A and B are shown apart, each in its own frame.
Chain A
Amino acid sequence: SQQGEEDPQALSIQEGENATMNCSYKTSINNLQWYRQNSGRGLVHLILIRSNEREKHSGRLRVTLDTSKKSSSLLITASRAADTASYFCATDAWTSGSRLTFGEGTQLTVNP
C-alpha cells in the first residue's frame, strides 16, 4: 500500500504561475522527500525535509511539513515549461536505515 498520496493527480498552469502540490501520509516519519520525473526518465531528488523541520527552501522550491496533519506541500514559484514533469513525495518512516515509500505522483504541465 502507498504511504503517501498526492493531490491533485494532475495540474495544468501557465508559465510564470505558481504550482502547489500536496502530499498526505499515514505513519510517523523521519523525513519526507520530493522527487521529479521527466517523461521516460529516472527520478531526480529535489528536496528533503526532516520531521523536526516545518519549512525548507531550495531555489524556486518551497516545501512545508505539518506532522500533526501528516501532510506536506511543494510549491514551485514562477513555473517554467521545463518544470513539466511528474512530482512524487516519498516518506522515510524507518528507525534503522532508509527505505522510501512513494506516492502516486502529480503530473504537472506548464504551458508556454
Chain B
Amino acid sequence: NAGVTQTPKFQVLKTGQSMTLQCAQDMNHNSMYWYRQDPGMGLRLIYYSASEGTTDKGEVPNGYNVSRLNKREFSLRLESAAPSQTSVYFCASSTSQGNYGYTFGSGTRLTVV
C-alpha cells in the first residue's frame, strides 16, 4: 500500500543512548517532515526537508539531527536521548506546495528512561 512507513513502532531508550528513526515514502513526494506529539498538545515540527538534498530546522530542533538519504527516505537521529524526548514521533510527506495535504506515518512511540 502506498504511504509513509515508519520504523520502529515502539522504542525504549536509556538516557544518553542514541537511535535513528526511519521513514520512507513511496508517493514520489518532494517534501518530508518530522513532528513530535506530546500529551494534550498538537504536533510540533522538528525538522523538514523541502526537497532531496535540503534540510531545515523547525520549531523544536534541539537534540535532533536529520538526514534526507534520497527522495524516499528521511531519518531522524537522537544522539544522546533525554527524558524530555519521550514522545510520539510522526513522519509525513507532501508535494512541494502541500496542496493536497500531508500523508502521515503511523508514528513511533519513544520512551526515554
Contacts and interface: CB of A to CB of B under 8 A. Distances in A.
B40 interface: yes
B3 to A, nearest CB: 9
A42 B3 CA distance: 12
Interface residues of B, number: 30
B42 A98 contact: no
Interface stretch (B12-20, B67-75, B79-87, B103-111): B103-111
Contacts of B101: 33, 35, 45, 48
A102 B50 CA distance: 18
A90 B4 CA distance: 19
Interface string A87-100: 01010100001111
Interface residues of A, number: 25
B94 interface: yes
Nearest to A94: B98
B48 A104 contact: no
A99 B102 contact: no
Nearest to B6: A42
A42 B101 CA distance: 14
A82 interface: no
Contacts of A45: 100-103
A21 to B, nearest CB: 13
Nearest to A107: B40
B107 A41 contact: yes
Interface string B22-43: 0000000001010100001111
Interface of B: 4, 31, 33, 35, 40-45, 48, 50, 58-59, 90, 92, 94-107
Interface of A: 1-2, 4, 31, 33, 35, 40-45, 48, 88, 90, 92, 97-105
